[in-house]
């Protein structure tokens, strides 16, 4: 895996020789920047990529390090001592502009925003972010690019069509050379990025950014053990039939603690995927025995998955509005914390960061939420698709990177953001400013000051898009959930397998992604809820192929055949 060789033609449009545009277009064409920045990268030929050297992040005493590959370390105790991972400020004056996602409330301005003030000091320059709501990411990205004024650092979600096109168009600097091999050691925290994240995020052998590392598995199913007990179960049944029976019995409890109550709130991607694990439906893209690339929806196991969802639906396990709740993520999560739902699928961030477990227990006395390992349909093993290893990346403007000194500075900034657990920098990035966001307790534990404004100030600026290597830092008020969490995540992580197409850049997938997922949502929900008959699965597959499925498959097939 040290060398990735990928061969997919990246450019769909060749170089252009259109002369004078049109009379009408001239005025606007002249506004846009195109040519001034540089040129389109020639990505049509894939090249050998020398992957950056990997250096494991420093271990911190007290961390629970697992034997299971891909299982992040769990930290339950306060870190005794924080050390510096960066010896000098990343910038030497000046400023750094960024394009990054804003998930919540906007920040206050300097100087009221003490986090921002501190950030400027620590960076040694002025931090100037462009904060983008995720629902306007496409439009904002496109207009920013059209203006030609590309911020120094941009969060690039490269499964997103607009962002992927920007990479194709040469908006961002090719970092392959500067980061190759030991070159990366100049930025020690970047060297902590796992090798699979680099190779998965490379485009035909070119690195266009520092990937935002993802653990092997992000979302885990959790259940209310107290409701299980109320329905007469003290353990998760060993096969699909037993599981269906248990969920039906839980749903049949009806009103619990005076609240109306259901099995599962939302029929979303997360709730769908764990049933795929149960039926060993495999990875989204898989290679069959004949070497042919097939999609999960074309497998027989997938028909079983949909049938099972439909059985759950008919047994009243899903909330009647489960299809609608899938688009209202917030509400579904709140139904669980409110104690009205038995099962939810969420991330570490949801369970511990957003405090789903803590809140559930606080709101509903006697609630006992915890992760669980769903049974395989036949009592055998689960088969879980492993994450691709990254979720977006931080890219550097091609224009800014033309000056090698500036490029070094900008990599310094990302290096700062990627400071590992136990460093003063990570403490600052993820927790904030002492006395503003938090203070230290008697055992050096971090005690949040619960100042919403201060926390919003931090959260708004902090999400650059590349963070320390994954780890699970358990808040002090949620220690009771750790053992169960650790056990389940280890079992689930061990059952993951990588996708055979990970790291293959596929433009058709990016372009048709939204259409294909529309078809998916439509038929999955339709068949599960009984709006459509299971026999519609053939129509489903047909519609999906027409929506780009075949084009995507062909590209993967070509790439795999090449290799």
Partner 1 sequence: MSISARTTSATDPPGGATGAAGPGRAGGRGTDGSPEAPSKRTGGPSGRTRGRDARGRASVWTRMKRERATYLFIVPGLLFFLLFAYLPLAGNVVAFQDYSPYWGIGGSEWVGLQNFAAMFNDPQFLRALTNTLVISFLQIVFAFPAPILLALLLNSLISERIKRVVQSIVYLPHFISWVIVIAIWQQVLGGAGPVAELFATIGIDGVNIMSDPETFKALVVSQVVWKDIGWGTIIFFAAITAIPNELYEAAAVDGAGSMRRTWHVTLPGLVPVITLLLILTIGNVLTVGFEQLLLQQPAVGSAAAEVLDTFVYYRGIAGGDWGLSTAAGLFKGVIGTILVIAANKFAKRLGTEGLF
Partner 2 sequence: MAALLPTAAPTGETADRRPRHPGRPVWMGVPSKPVQAAKALTIAFIVLVMLYPFVYVIAMSFASREAAASGGLFPTSFSLDAYRSILGGDVVTRAMLVSIGITAVGTTLSMIFTTTLAYGLMRTRDVPGAKFVLVLVLCTMLFGAGIIPNYLLVRSLGMLDTYWSLIIPGLISAFNMVVVRNFFMGLPSELLESARLDGASDLRIFTQIVLPLSKAVLAVIALFYAVGYWNAFFNAMIYLNDTTKWPIQVVLNQYVVQGSALTSIQAPDQPPPPGQTLQMAVIVVATIPILLLYPFAQRYFTKGVLTGAIKG
Q: Using the rule CB under 8 A, is 457 a contact of partner 2?
A: yes
**Contacts for 234 with CB less than 8 Å, ≥ 6 apart:** 228
**Please, which residue, 77 or 159, has the CB nearer to partner 2?**
159
Q: To which H or E segment does residue 116 belong?
A: helix 114-123
Q: What residue 347 binds from partner 1, partner 2, none (CB within 5 to 8 A, per partner kind)? A: partner 2
Minimum CB separation of residue 171 from partner 1 in Å reads 5
- Alpha helical stretches, state H, 148-280: 161-168, 176-179, 195-201, 225-230, 240-252, 269-278
Are 425 and 122 spatial neighbours (Cβ–Cβ below 8 Å)? yes
Could you tell me the sign of the dihedral formed by the alpha carbons of 481, 487, 492, 494, in that order? Answer: positive
Pick one of 56, 65, 479, 514: the residue that binds partner 1 (CB under 8 A): 514
- Alpha helical stretches, state H, 253-389: 269-278, 300-314, 322-325, 329-337, 348, 356-363
CA–CA dist 285, 272 (Å, integer): 16
Stretch that binds partner 2, among 81-89, 314-322, 334-342, 491-499 (CB under 8 A): 334-342
Based on DSSP, count helices (H) and strands (E) in the chain, helices before strands.
21, 20
Q: Using the rule CB under 8 A, is 165 a contact of partner 1?
A: yes
E strand residue ranges, 90-185: 95-102, 126-133, 153-156
Q: What residue 311 binds from partner 1, partner 2, none (CB within 5 to 8 A, per partner kind)? A: none
Regarding beta strands 153-156 and 95-102, do their DSSP bridges make them parallel or antiparallel, or are they unpaired?
Answer: parallel
Q: What residue 506 binds from partner 1, partner 2, none (CB within 5 to 8 A, per partner kind)? A: none
Q: Using the rule CB under 8 A, is 107 a contact of partner 2?
A: yes
By the 10 Å C-beta count (0-12 exposed, 13-18 middle, 19+ buried), 541 is classed as middle
Q: Using the rule CB under 8 A, is 105 a contact of partner 2?
A: yes
Q: To which H or E segment does residue 448 belong?
A: strand 446-448
Are 33 and 150 spatial neighbours (Cβ–Cβ below 8 Å)? no
Pick one of 2, 3, 32, 349: the residue that binds partner 1 (CB under 8 A): 32
Closest to 96 measured CA to CA, from 456, 416, 434, 457: 416
Pick one of 118, 307, 328, 408: the residue that binds partner 1 (CB under 8 A): 328
CA–CA dist 370, 227 (Å, integer): 12
Q: Using the rule CB under 8 A, is 327 a contact of partner 1?
A: yes
Q: Using the rule CB under 8 A, is 558 a contact of partner 2?
A: no
Pick one of 29, 80, 229, 235: the residue that binds partner 1 (CB under 8 A): 29
Q: Which of residues 247-286 bind partner 1 (CB under 8 A)?
A: 260, 262
**Please, which residue, 375 or 470, has the CB nearer to partner 2?**
470
Q: What residue 55 binds from partner 1, partner 2, none (CB within 5 to 8 A, per partner kind)? A: none
Q: Which of residues 146-165 bind partner 2 (CB under 8 A)?
A: 146-147
E strand residue ranges, 80-227: 95-102, 126-133, 153-156, 210-213, 219-224
Q: Using the rule CB under 8 A, is 101 a contact of partner 1?
A: no
Minimum CB separation of residue 555 from partner 1 in Å reads 16
Stretch that binds partner 1, among 24-32, 121-129, 151-159, 229-237 (CB under 8 A): 24-32
Up-side HSE of residue 317: CA atoms within 13 Å toward CB? 25
Q: Using the rule CB under 8 A, is 477 a contact of partner 1?
A: no
Stretch that binds partner 2, among 186-194, 350-358, 398-406, 476-484 (CB under 8 A): 350-358
**Nearest 5°: phi and psi at 340?**
-110, 0
Q: Using the rule CB under 8 A, is 477 a contact of partner 2?
A: no
Largest CA distance in the chain: 77
**Nearest 5°: phi and psi at 150?**
-85, 125
Q: Using the rule CB under 8 A, is 384 a contact of partner 1?
A: no
Q: Using the rule CB under 8 A, is 529 a contact of partner 1?
A: yes
By the 10 Å C-beta count (0-12 exposed, 13-18 middle, 19+ buried), 560 is classed as middle
Size of the site for partner 1 (CB under 8 A): 67
Q: What residue 541 binds from partner 1, partner 2, none (CB within 5 to 8 A, per partner kind)? A: none
Go through 77-103 and write b for each residue having 16 or more CB atoms within 10 A of its CB, e for each that does not: bebeebeebbeebbbeeeebbbbbbbe
Closest to 107 measured CA to CA, from 432, 334, 420: 432
Q: For the chain, how far is it from start to end, CA to CA, in angstroms?
A: 13
Q: What residue 532 binds from partner 2, partner 1, none (CB within 5 to 8 A, per partner kind)? A: partner 1
Stretch that binds partner 2, among 128-136, 419-427, 532-540, 555-563 (CB under 8 A): 128-136
**Please, which residue, 409 or 507, has the CB nearer to partner 1?**
507
Minimum CB separation of residue 518 from partner 1 in Å reads 5
Q: Using the rule CB under 8 A, is 311 a contact of partner 1?
A: no
Per-state percent for the chain, helix, strand, coil, to nearest 5: 45, 15, 40
Q: Using the rule CB under 8 A, is 24 a contact of partner 1?
A: yes
Q: Using the rule CB under 8 A, is 260 a contact of partner 2?
A: yes
Q: Which of residues 116-155 bind partner 1 (CB under 8 A)?
A: 135-136, 138-139, 142-143, 145-146, 148
Q: What residue 522 binds from partner 2, partner 1, none (CB within 5 to 8 A, per partner kind)? A: partner 1
Q: Which of residues 539-558 bind partner 1 (CB under 8 A)?
A: 543, 546-547
* DSSP of 28-61: HHHHS-GGGT------SS---EEPBPP-PPPP-T
- Kindly list the strands in the beta sheet with 73-75, ordered across the sheet, starting from the edge strand earlier in the chain: 63-64, 73-75, 471-473
Minimum CB separation of residue 354 from partner 2 in Å reads 3
Could you list the residues that contact partner 2 (CB under 8 A)? 28, 31-32, 101-109, 112, 130-131, 133-136, 139-140, 142-143, 146-147, 212-214, 218-219, 259-260, 268-270, 326-331, 333-334, 337-340, 347, 349-350, 353-355, 363, 391-392, 451-453, 456-457, 459-460, 463, 467, 470
- The site for partner 1 (CB under 8 A) is made up of 12-14, 16, 18, 21-22, 24-35, 37, 40, 135-136, 138-139, 142-143, 145-146, 148, 160-162, 164-166, 169-171, 260, 262, 319-321, 323-324, 326-328, 331, 510-515, 518, 521-522, 525-526, 529, 531-532, 543, 546-547
């Amino acid at each position: 895996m040290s060398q990735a060789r990928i061969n997919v033609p990246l450019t769909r449009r060749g170089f252009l020789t259109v002369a004078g545009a049109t009379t009408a277009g001239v005025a606007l064409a002249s506004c846009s920047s195109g040519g001034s920045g540089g040129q389109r990268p020639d990505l049509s030929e894939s090249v050998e990529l020398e992957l950056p050297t990997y250096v494991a992040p420093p271990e911190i005493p007290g961390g629970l390090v697992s034997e299971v590959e891909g299982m992040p370390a769990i930290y339950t105790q306060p870190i005794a001592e924080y050390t510096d991972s960066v010896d000098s400020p990343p910038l030497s004056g000046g400023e750094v502009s960024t394009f990054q996602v804003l998930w919540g409330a906007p920040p206050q301005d300097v100087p009221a925003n003490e986090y921002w003030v501190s950030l400027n000091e620590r960076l040694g320059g002025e931090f100037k972010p462009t904060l983008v709501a995720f629902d306007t990411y496409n439009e904002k990205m496109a207009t920013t690019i059209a203006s030609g004024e590309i911020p120094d650092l941009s969060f690039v979600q490269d499964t997103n069509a607009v962002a992927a096109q920007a990479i194709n168009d040469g908006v961002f600097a090719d970092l392959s050379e500067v980061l190759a091999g030991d070159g990366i050691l100049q930025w020690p925290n970047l060297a902590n990025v796992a090798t699979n994240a680099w190779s998965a995020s490379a485009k035909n052998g070119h690195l266009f950014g520092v990937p935002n590392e993802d653990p092997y598995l992000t979302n885990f199913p959790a259940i209310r053990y107290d409701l299980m007990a109320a329905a007469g179960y003290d353990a998760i049944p060993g096969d699909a039939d037993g599981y269906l029976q248990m969920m039906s019995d839980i749903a049949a409890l009806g009103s619990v603690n005076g609240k109306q109550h259901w099995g599962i709130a939302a029929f979303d991607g997360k709730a769908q995927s764990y049933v795929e694990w149960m039926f060993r439906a495999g990875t989204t893209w898989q290679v069959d025995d004949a070497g042919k690339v097939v999609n999960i929806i074309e497998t027989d196991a997938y028909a079983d998955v949909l049938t099972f969802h439909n059985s759950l639906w008919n047994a009243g396990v899903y909330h009647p509005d489960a299809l609608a709740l899938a688009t209202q993520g917030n509400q579904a999560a709140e139904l669980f914390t409110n104690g009205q739902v038995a099962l939810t699928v969420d991330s570490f961030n949801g369970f511990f960061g957003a405090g789903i477990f803590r809140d559930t227990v606080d709101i509903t006395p006697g609630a006992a939420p915890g992760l669980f390992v769903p049974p395989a349909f036949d009592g055998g093993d689960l088969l879980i698709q492993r994450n691709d290893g990254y979720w977006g990346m931080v890219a550097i403007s091609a224009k800014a990177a033309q000056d090698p000194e500036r490029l070094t500075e900008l990599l310094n900034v990302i290096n700062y953001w990627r400071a590992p657990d136990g460093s003063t920098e990570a403490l600052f990035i993820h927790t904030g400013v002492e006395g503003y966001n938090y203070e230290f307790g008697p055992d050096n534990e971090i005690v949040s000051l619960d100042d919403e404004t201060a926390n919003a100030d931090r959260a708004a600026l902090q999400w650059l898009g590349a963070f320390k290597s994954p780890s699970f830092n358990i808040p002090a008020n949620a220690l009771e959930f750790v053992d169960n969490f650790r056990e389940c995540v280890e079992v689930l992580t061990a059952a993951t397998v990588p996708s055979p197409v990970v790291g293959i850049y596929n433009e058709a997938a990016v372009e048709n992604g939204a259409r294909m997922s529309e078809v998916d949502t439509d038929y999955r929900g339709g068949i599960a809820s009984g709006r459509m008959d299971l026999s519609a699965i053939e129509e489903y597959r047909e519609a999906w192929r027409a929506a780009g499925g075949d084009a995507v498959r062909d590209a993967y097939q070509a790439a795999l055949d090449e290799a």
